[in-house]
Amino acid sequence: MRTPVVIIGGGPSGLLLSQLLHLAGVENVVLERRTRDYVLGRIRAGVLEWGTVEMLRAAGVGARMDREGFVHEGTFLAARNAQFRVDFVQRAGKPVMVYGQTEVTRDLYFARAASGGTVIHEAEGVTPHGLDTSAPWVTYVKNGTEERIDCEFVIGCDGFHGVSRGCIPASVLRETERVYPFGWLGILSETPPVSHELIYANHARGFALCSMRNAHLSRYYLQVPVDAHVENWSDDRFWDELRRRIPHEAAETLVTGPSIEKSIAPLRSYVAEPMRWGRLFLCGDAAHIVPPTGAKGLNLAMSDVHYLSEALIAHYRDGEPGGLDTYSERALARVWKATRFSWWMTTTLHRFDDQGAFGQRIQEAEIDYLASSPAAQAAMAENYVGLPF
């Protein structure tokens, strides 16, 4: 097989890149190690920056999002069990959209199938070759037979544990990481959300977040030690602890019920540089990980897709290679700003074992300042709804 672009990874970033390239007349093939059902079964965050919303619309996959998604014009922050609201539209001129990553992926799969796009699932042993030449190729195994695709560019959208990043020589790759000493215990319950907008709560017992998937499906999180075990957290224990940490008015109206999914996610900040080597380009989690506190993971992947699709389309349509040469620099500038914001949200809202009473009071003072300062709220809102591409 021969195609101009091979995309490794059939998650939302790989599928969106595939769709945008298709709309511009650039042929491509997507290779995904898992089955489609497995990819659609992943439970992921669902807060979309407005730039992501506009990208999905431009890709022709925004109709169901616009019908079923929830536009949030602000969010609540809390400390000492009292909350205040940051108005995104007033402070930053735009809202965010709550729409699950699984639904984004489903819409993209439908669009690629409707367009006759080539998405090869259960592609085992995907291996790029010749990335430092002008004629790379990719091999994989399907149904016990090794296949080969010759191409011009290879795009790694295969996540943190994928094969792509490891193709960059160790002498070239620079990795920066911070691992946080706690995780998020999250549950999904078929209950109405406690709030029409998200609640981020700082508490001396630890962070809590009240989120949602739709009007009848709620997502809640608690900060727990990094070595905590899900089996030690019954539903009753989770709900009791959540009530302690969230604002009093929310605790009084919280509707509880059996969890339909429960898991613990570790938190880390990670950036790999550069995001291009030879004919290989990295997108999304293959190049960077942020803690979920600032809702930046999926959105950063989408901004990578914006820069890379723009560069590839210019290359094939106009013969302009400059965008490909500057892709890594442009993408990383936004990645580091989002990494900073996610770090700030994480360190402001979470309890650290060594912070003591002083550290807790500093966090509370930071949140008090945010509550009273329009300028501080504008800075937070600008970052939360998404910096310009």
Instruction: Determine how β-strand 28-31 pairs with β-strand 5-8.
Output: parallel
Tracing tokens 């009071």 back to the chain, one arrives at: 361
Instruction: Determine how β-strand 70-72 pairs with β-strand 28-31.
Output: unpaired
Residue 282 has φ and ψ, to the nearest 5°, of: -100, 145
b/e per residue, 294-327, with b = 16+ CB within 10 A? Answer: bbbbbbbbbbbbbbbbbbbbbbbeeeeeebbeeb
Catalytic residue chosen out of the listed positions 22, 94, 203, 296:
296
Catalytic residue chosen out of the listed positions 200, 221, 307, 327:
200
For the segment 42-56, the average pLDDT, to the nearest whole number, is: 89
95 DSSP 8-state letter: -
pLDDT at 288: 98
pLDDT at 337: 98
Residue 43, pLDDT > 70, answer no
| 121-141 residue pLDDT tens | 999 999 999 999 999 999 999
Q: Which residues make Cβ contacts (< 8 Å) with residue 280, sequence separation at least 6? A: 128, 131, 136, 153, 154, 155, 156, 164, 167, 168
For the segment 175-197, the average pLDDT, to the nearest whole number, is: 96
Report the Cα–Cα distance between both ends of the chain, in Å, rounded.
34
Q: Which residues make Cβ contacts (< 8 Å) with residue 370, sequence separation at least 6? A: 77, 86, 376, 377, 380
Residue 302, pLDDT > 90, answer yes
For the segment 153-174, the average pLDDT, to the nearest whole number, is: 98
Q: Which residues make Cβ contacts (< 8 Å) with residue 38, sequence separation at least 6? A: none
pLDDT at 16: 98
Quick check: is 337 catalytic?
no
The whole model's pTM is what?
A: 0.95
pLDDT at 167: 98
Quick check: is 72 catalytic?
yes
Quick check: is 200 catalytic?
yes
Cβ atoms of 115 and 19 within 8 Å: the answer is: yes
Structure tokens at 45: 């965050």
Question: Residue type for 71, please?
Answer: V
Residue 45, pLDDT > 70, answer no
Quote the strand ranges of the chain, DSSP E.
Answer: 5-8, 28-31, 47-48, 70-72, 74-79, 82-87, 96-98, 118-120, 124-129, 137-142, 145-150, 153-156, 174-189, 199-202, 208-214, 217-225, 259-273, 276-277, 280-282, 288-289
Q: How confident is the model at residue 321 (pLDDT cuts 50, 70, 90)?
A: confident
Q: What gap in Å lies between CA 338 and CA 177, rounded to an integer?
A: 14
Residue 213, pLDDT > 90, answer no
- The burial of 34, by beta-carbon neighbours within 10 Å (0-12 exposed, 13-18 middle, 19 or more buried), is given as middle
| 10-34 residue pLDDT tens | 999 999 999 999 999 999 999 999 9
User: Residues, the chain, total?
Assistant: 389
Catalytic residue chosen out of the listed positions 72, 306, 315, 350:
72
| 370-387 residue pLDDT tens | 999 999 999 999 999 999
Secondary structure of residue 228 in the 3-state scheme: coil
Catalytic residue chosen out of the listed positions 220, 292, 306, 350:
292
Structure tokens at 280: 């290989």
